[in-house]
Structures are given as structure tokens and as C-alpha cells.
Amino acid sequence: MLNISLNSIQNRIPDEEFTSLTANHLSKSHRVIARWIVGIIVAAVALLFLPWTQNIQSKGKITTLLPQQRPQTVQANIDGRIERWFVQEGQAIKKGDTIALISEIKTEYGDPQLLSRTESQITAKESSKEAYNAKAQALNIQADALAKERDFKINQLQNKVRQVQLKIISDSIALEQAHIDFQIADRQLKRAQDLNEKGIKSLADVEEKKQKYQSSVTKVTEAQNKLDISRNELNITTIDLSSVRANYDQKIAKAQSDRFSALSAGYEAQSTIDKLKIQASNYATRQGFYSITAPQDGYIVKTLKAGIGETVKSGTELASIVPFDVQLAVELYIKPMDLPLIYPGQEVRFIFDGWPAFIFSGWPSQSFGTYSGDVFAVDRVISENGKYRILVAANTVEKPWPDALQIGGGAQGIALLERVPLWYELWRQLNGFPPDFYRPEVVEPPKMKAPLKSVK
């Protein structure tokens, strides 16, 4: 039946009465399949419009939030020989507990009484310094005494100079008086001789005038000699005055020079004392390095040196310690292309190694077994592996992290980004485009404690 006409009679023919029509009748299952196909297509189209959370996935490892909480090694501060171990691996220790004991191997520190002998040297040098100071003080007193004696001598000689000067004035007056007497005697002698020649005066009067004349000449000579002696005495006294000044100035200068030498020796002794004190302090500090102690509370993870009598150098790692209480975090490495999408305070979901999880990366609310964290810090410098490191702290408000997590364990992080339709995410993935760039309106990074100020 071709069914060419628009007026079909198919519905009017009873198919059950005809065997051939019954055997060749079409099944209705094709209608069900078509409906299923249409339903699946409609569901797939509707699914493409569901919201999808873009994300950045990266593998990382568990670490600590604070540097002092990370595993650290205990090192030998000096060269030495291991004499004894006081701990074993896995043992819990307190801050200040002795881990190992080492002995000295350098010959310059081998004297067991090195510290006491150095202190004896300090005592001897201090006594020497006190002696130099006493000597400087004595020389200072001696210089003051010489200065007083010099002033006394100078005053004495200056008084003598004044006395000699007065004597010179007196002798000058006496000489002048002698000259006057000489002139009078000379005139009287000449007058007597003239009168004698005229017969008025006798020869006896002339002889008497000659005697007075000779006496006046003698007095002039004596007065001149006394004046010369006084002038010579003035010169000698003036020379003595200059000599006394020069002599005492020399003595005072020598005393001052000796005093400065004593002070210089005292300062050198003080410098030696300071050096010896530094050495004594270094020796005492070095003796404290013989005991290797724990810097903080924790567990001995591993001893890195074995045996007794093994020689170690300064800076050699002896043991590894993990603190008791730590604030866990996860460090992840992201590609430079994804760095602008990461900001402090951003949510990151984690799947820890060893903990079962069922996760839908695009629908984090439908995931099971994941834990939440917030981006704490982002490195400003790229790492050696060509990626940027981010540090994610635990978000304990939503769900605390498992207590059994250990430092160094693996973790897979999923940084949650903007929500987009599923069809857009598929189109982005097929074209290899990065996630959409966005920034939240308010970004509140985790609060950090201010660094401690340096102690001056």
C-alpha cells in the first residue's frame, strides 16, 4: 500500500483479520528510542547551562605555617669528637635537653685549665695596670712639686735681682760722690800749690792737700770697683734665673714624659686585659658548646651521625628535630599563567594522600572527603622548577584537618575560581584558554603578627 492519496484508509482496515498484515506490522519500540534520544539531548543541553566552578589544580606537600615549626637539624658549633649520645630516634625531648656530648680536638684548646689560667693572666694584668696608674699619679705629684720649687727659686732669684739692682743704684751714687770729692780735692791741691808758690801756704798744707787728693782718688777707684762688682752680680743672678727656669722646665718635662709613658703602658695593659677577657669569654662559651642541646620541644626524627669517637666539623648536622605543636599548611606550585588568579584569602580544597575522597572539581559542594584552606602567602620570586609557590593555611572553621597528617605528606590542591556555565568551560578547555581573570571586591588576607623589633 503506497498511501499516495491524502485520504488514507489504513485506519479503516482491521489488521487482525489479515495474517499478512499482522506478520508485517511495525513495532512501537522505535518511538520509545526516539523519545529517549530526545530526552538525552534535552538533558545534555540543559546540563551545558549548569554552573561550573573554574579551578586550578596542583600537587603539593604538607609543611608548616611558621618557619620555626618546620623540621630542623641540630648542628655542632665547633670541631670535636662525639663522646656520648643521650637520645634515640623517636624520643620526645624538651628545650635544653642534652642530645650529645663532644670533646675538644684542637690543640690550642687542649689545656684543661685554660680558662683558669687566662683568668690569672687577667688578674696579673690588672695589677700591672694599677701599678702603672700609681706610677703616673706619683709622677704627676712630682711634676707639681717641681713646678712649686721652680716658682720658689724664681721668686728668690727675682728678689735677689731687685736687691742687686738697688745695690747698683747705691754704688752709682757712691761713685758719683767719690768723683765730687775727687774734684774738690783736686781744686784744693792746686790752690794750695799756688798759694805755696806765693808763700801764703806752707809746704805742710800742700802735703795735707796731696794726702786728701790721693784719698779721693782711692775712693773713686773703690766706688768704681763696687759698682762693677754689683753689675757683674746682677748679670750672674740673671743668668742663674734663666738657668733655674730651664733646669726645672726640663725636670718637669721629663716627669710629664714619664707620666705619659706610664699612662700609655696602663692603656696597653687595659687593652691586653680586654683581649684576655674576650678570650676567657670565648673559652667559656666554647666549653658550653661541648653539650649539644635541643633548641625547642619536639621529637628526635633521625640521628645523622653514628657511633662514639667520630670526628665532626663545625656546622655538621647531628640530628633532626620536629616540634610538638605545629600549624600545618600546604605548599603548592602553580604555573606563571595562573599566578594572577591567586590572591591571599582565596579558598583552596585539598585531597590528602591516604584519606578517601569523592570529588567533583566543578561542584565543590557535592564533593566528599575534601578539606578547605585559605591562601596565606604567594611568593614574589619564581622557584627553580619554573613555577610560583603558594602557601595555604588550614581553614579550621569549616572542617578541621585530620590530626594524623604529617609534615611531608602529599596533597592535591584545587583553587576555586569564578562560576561559569558548563558549556563555556568545555569551550575554554577545548581551546586551551586560561580561566577567567577576576578579583573579588573585598580581599582580606590572613592577619600576620608583626615581626619582633631587633634588640639594640
pLDDT digits (tens, 9 = 90+) for 145-177: 888 888 888 888 888 888 888 888 888 888 888
- Supply 404's cell numbers: 594524623
pLDDT digits (tens, 9 = 90+) for 347-401: 888 888 877 766 655 556 566 668 888 999 898 888 888 899 999 998 877 788 8
pLDDT for 454? 41
Distance CA 358, CA 356 (A): 7
pLDDT digits (tens, 9 = 90+) for 63-81: 988 888 888 889 888 888 8
pLDDT digits (tens, 9 = 90+) for 290-331: 889 998 899 898 888 877 888 888 888 889 998 888 888 999
In Å, what is the CA distance from 131 to each residue of 54, 144, 258, 270? Answer: 86, 20, 14, 12
pLDDT for 69? 85
Average pLDDT value for the chain: 81
Distance CA 112, CA 349 (A): 61
Q: How far is CA 268 from the centre of its chain?
A: 28
Has residue 199 got a pLDDT over 60? Answer: yes
Amino acid at 193: Q
Amino acid at 80: G
Distance CA 303, CA 321 (A): 9
Distance CA 142, CA 251 (A): 10
| CATH dotted code for 52-69+326-431 | 2.40.30.170
Distance CA 322, CA 298 (A): 5
Distance CA 418, CA 414 (A): 13
CATH class of 72-97+294-322: mainly beta
pLDDT digits (tens, 9 = 90+) for 94-115: 998 999 999 888 878 777 788 8
Percent of the chain with pLDDT over 90: 6
pLDDT for 400? 86
Question: The whole model's pTM is what?
Answer: 0.56
**348 neighbors 416 (Cβ within 8 angstroms):** yes
pLDDT digits (tens, 9 = 90+) for 232-261: 888 888 888 888 888 888 888 988 898 899
- The CATH T-level fold of domain 114-288 is Helix Hairpins (1.10.287)
Give, rounded to a whole angstrom, the gap between the first and last alpha carbons of the chain: 110
Dihedral sign, Cα of residue 423, residue 426, residue 427, residue 428: positive
**Domain edges within the chain:** 52-69+326-431, 72-97+294-322, 114-288
pLDDT digits (tens, 9 = 90+) for 17-55: 656 655 555 555 666 777 788 888 888 777 777 776 777
Buried b (16+ CB within 10 A) or exposed e, 209-239: beebbeebeebbeebeebbeebbebbeebee
Amino acid at 285: T
pLDDT for 16? 62
pLDDT for 451? 47
In Å, what is the CA distance from 147 to each residue of 141, 152, 201, 247, 262? Answer: 10, 9, 72, 11, 20
Sheet-wide strand order for 92-93: 72-75, 317-323, 298-303, 92-93
**150 neighbors 245 (Cβ within 8 angstroms):** yes
pLDDT for 29? 62
pLDDT digits (tens, 9 = 90+) for 409-449: 888 888 877 777 777 777 777 876 667 666 665 445 555 55
